[in-house]
Amino acid sequence: MTGKTHPAVTRRFGIGLVALALVATACTSGDAETQSNGDPVDAEPAQLSITPETGAEEIAPNTPIRVSAEHGVITDVQVDQVVVSEAAAGGEEGDDDGDLYAMTGTLNEDETEWVSDWNLRPGSEIVVTATAENGSGEETEFSAEFTTHDAVPGQRLELVSNFPSSGDTVGVGMPVVINFDLPVSNKAQVENSMNVVAEKEVAGAWNWVTDQMAVFRPEQYWEAYQEVTVDLNLAGVEASEGVFGVRNYQINFEIGRELIATMHVPDHEMVIEIDGEEDRVIEVSNGAANRRFDTTTSGVHVLMERYTQLTMDSATVGIPEDAPGSYRVDVNYAVRTSNSGEFVHEMSANGNIGSANTSNGCTNMRYDDAKWFFDNTLMGDILDTTGTDREFEWDNGWGYWQKSWDEWLEGSETGEPQMTSYGTPGSVHGEGL
């Protein structure tokens, strides 16, 4: 898994598989094991220390590994992990993938201190091997072995669902939506454990919609035609007291072409631009606006799920059968734009398409236009609507672009942007460790 990389003064070392940790007592290399070419050695051998120390047991998973050197500089750190708890392994195919659990660390400016970037897995045996070099080029190697305690059944943070999924191609407005199985109280540590890397750098930040849902959004729309990787370094993170992550996850998706659809509702049309060029204008009919419910919302919508056929039932949005304004109708080519029942969909039976707004709040299109919209749009494409007095709520579906960047940052527990070129802004380890 790719580690976070901060600018300037730090160097990173990759390491093998991961493990877990708790207290910070140190062990130090005694007589250095040196390699010499036979030339006179003037420099004192380098000395290394590692915490946690050899023999430590039941170390907390969110304890950092620290390596220090005297009389030399650190040249390599390797961390290997063997999961000894079946529960900690998570029971998922590929869970012990070396790339997924590869550790990285941050080296200070004078290259004498190294600290692990990520937490360690519960229920594991860990071996840390460090190498340092003195001024004469002699090497000293030192290692420490310890174990981490297991995660308690029923208190293991895991991923329930995510949008997008690996392999998806999405639009430039796509958020990263992460749903957990348990509430998160240590939100800053979990935020810092979720690293978003994009080919084209942009600032972004996580928000907590609920205690179990975290959402990442860039400051501006993603640039088109690039790959994005989300590394969820959850193994060992303490999500709340006594609740630890047991697995790491990686999500790989692609940002496709830029498609922006705009509607000024009184104009009865939708304008489609692709990569900055107008592609087509589609006649539509929007909400009749006789009441709040059937008023199309104004704001930046992100296209969500889609159905080739869908039964639209007012009971699902709080209007029961036989109540005033109730309806139940089958439609084709429906693309969701909110969680309050708004879709772009086919409704050829609406004779007011292009001339009047008479729908129940959805955007009606004729058959051929609705099929084109369905076939040629992506999850994550933008529909920007204006001209009504009902504002789209930021937490209605994926209305996250309704918040300004400053407002979005306020919803981040860290309060800091995450650059998609070098990673998360703070520590993933337990406080005081």
Q: Which residues are catalytic?
A: 345, 362
Answer yes or no: are the C-beta atoms of 299 and 404 closer than 8 Å.
no
Q: Please, which residues have CB within 8 angstroms of residue 217's CB and are 6 or more apart in sequence? A: 175, 176, 204, 205, 207, 400, 401, 408
Residue 298, both tokens? 């104004």
Give me the torsion for CA of 407, 410, 414, 416, rounded to 10°.
Answer: 40
Distance CA 205, CA 187 (A): 13
* Residue 192 per-residue DSSP state: H
Q: Which run of H or E residues covers position 189?
A: helix 187-192
CB 247 within 8 A of CB 90: yes
Angle at CA 331, nearest 5°, toward 325 and 335? 100
Euclidean distance between CA atoms 254 and 242, whole angstroms: 36
Q: Which of 113, 14, 118 is nearest to 62 (CA)?
A: 118
Name 432's Cβ contacts closer than 8 Å, sequence gap at least 6: none
Distance between CA 92 and CA 156 in Å, rounded?
A: 14
- Tokens 């140190």 locate to 26
Starting at the edge strand found earlier in the chain, the sheet holding 104-107 runs 11-14, 104-107, 113-116, 66-70, 47-51, 27-28
Q: How many CA atoms lie within 13 A of 113 on its CB side?
A: 7
Number of other CB atoms surrounding residue 70 within 10 Å? 16
Those residues whose C-beta lies under 8 Å from the C-beta of residue 252, and which sit 6 or more positions away, are 166, 167, 227, 228, 229, 230
- Across the beta sheet with 243-245, what order do the strands follow? 156-157, 243-245, 238-240
Closest CA to 243 of 118, 120, 180, 157: 157
d(CA 207, CA 374) in angstroms, rounded, equals 30
